[in-house]
Every structure is written in C-alpha cells, then in structure tokens.
Amino acid sequence: MSSRDLSPTDGRVLRRADNREAALRSGIDLFARNKVAPTIEEVAAESGISIRSLYRYFGDASVMIVEATQLLVEETRPLASFSPMGEGPLADRIATLVGARFRAYQHVRPVLRATILNIAAQAELAPAQHATRELLRRQFSTHFAPELQQSDDAAREQILQAGSAVCNLEFIDMLVERQEMPVDTAQAIVIRLMTNVLAPAPM
C-alpha cells in the first residue's frame, strides 16, 4: 500500500509513529553528547518536532528517556548473540563470545554512560535490565557447558560470576575509555581473562 492509499486516520497514525521514533533517535543522539536526561525542549530542538507534539506523544521527559533507553537495549541485544553455541575448542568459543560482546559494546559505546545511569535511575527499566542479564547468563552457561559441568555448584557459580564480570560492557568500557586502550588490545585482555577463568593454569 502506498502513502496515497492511506486514509487520513492511517496517515496520522503513521506520521505519529515516525515522529515518535525520530524523537527517540534524537534523545539517543543527545545521550551521546553527555545529555543523560535530555528535556522535551532539547529533543524538540534536536528533532525539529514541536514541543507540544512531544508532550502529546510521551507526556513527560522521563517517559521519553525510558523509551529511548529501551529502544537502544532492544537494538543492542541481538548484537551480543551468535551461533553455533557451545561448539568447538575452548579458545575458539571464548573468541566468539568476546567478539560478540565487543560488537554490542561498539554499538552502545557513545551512549553507554547515559544508558547505565538511566537504567539505574528509572525503575521502569529494571525488567529489561534483568532480562538482558539472564539472557547473557544463559548464553554463557550454554556456550561453556563442558567446562561448567566439570565443577561443583559453588565453583560453577564462581565461574559464571567471574566470566560475566570480565566480559561485561562496563568493564570493557573501563579498559577502552578510562584506560585509553585500543579496542584490539582491550579485546585481547578480555580473552586472556576469560581463558584464566575457564581454564586456570595449574598451581
């Protein structure tokens, strides 16, 4: 169906959806410029959408910030996925998982600080954060099942916690941004740490 075939009502619905997404994209662009909590007025100036329309779409800035953060999380989640899972030598599996985490990190890198702060500040984002953590934990458990099955319950939980920590996006960001490491160097360090967690050298 072309835009000429749309009824006036359909056209308004489509325009509203387009404008809402444009506003959310503008909010994300502002995140990247260290505007952790952009106002309706700032998003209006960035997007060219009227302040009145933005208040009609979202009600207030906090709702807009939540939706922009949710959009970013939903777009990032598939980037951390990969297949096949749990197949091949340990070194190859570590490289595959770490490579996926770095792809996700590169996508959110400009806005990671704002995303983390907004998730902490907005209770509405807690379910999305919990779902993402559970997804990554299941991914780790499946991908490294052979190594985890060799450990008792306590050791298995320690491996899961340690492995999750060293390939966490916040840890990656600390290496790249605060330690000012090239991405390739940071990725090599995370691979080494993951190797130490999953196949520690004998004492």
Domain ranges, ordered by start, for the chain: 3-59, 73-198
Residues, the chain: 203
| Phi, psi dihedral angles at 110 (to 5 degrees) | -65, -20
- The pTM score is 0.82
Residues ≥6 apart with Cβ < 8 Å to 194: 94, 97, 98, 163, 166, 167
Return the structure tokens found at 145.
């099942």
Contact 171, 189 (CB under 8 A): no
How many angstroms separate the CA atoms of 32 and 19, rounded? 20
Cα(105)–Cα(39) distance, rounded to whole angstroms? Answer: 26
What is d(CA 87, CA 102) in angstroms, rounded to the nearest whole number?
A: 20
CATH number of 3-59: 1.10.10
How far is residue 174's CA from residue 132's CA, in Å, rounded to a whole number?
Answer: 20
pLDDT at 126: 87
**For residue 115, what pLDDT is reported?**
87
Per-residue pLDDT of the chain (203 residues; tens, 9 = 90+): 444 555 556 667 788 899 999 999 999 999 999 898 999 999 999 999 999 999 999 999 999 999 999 898 888 888 888 888 999 999 999 999 999 999 999 999 989 888 888 888 888 888 888 888 888 899 999 999 999 999 899 999 999 999 999 999 999 999 999 999 999 999 999 999 999 999 876 65
Separation between Cα atoms, residue 95 and residue 200, nearest integer Å: 16
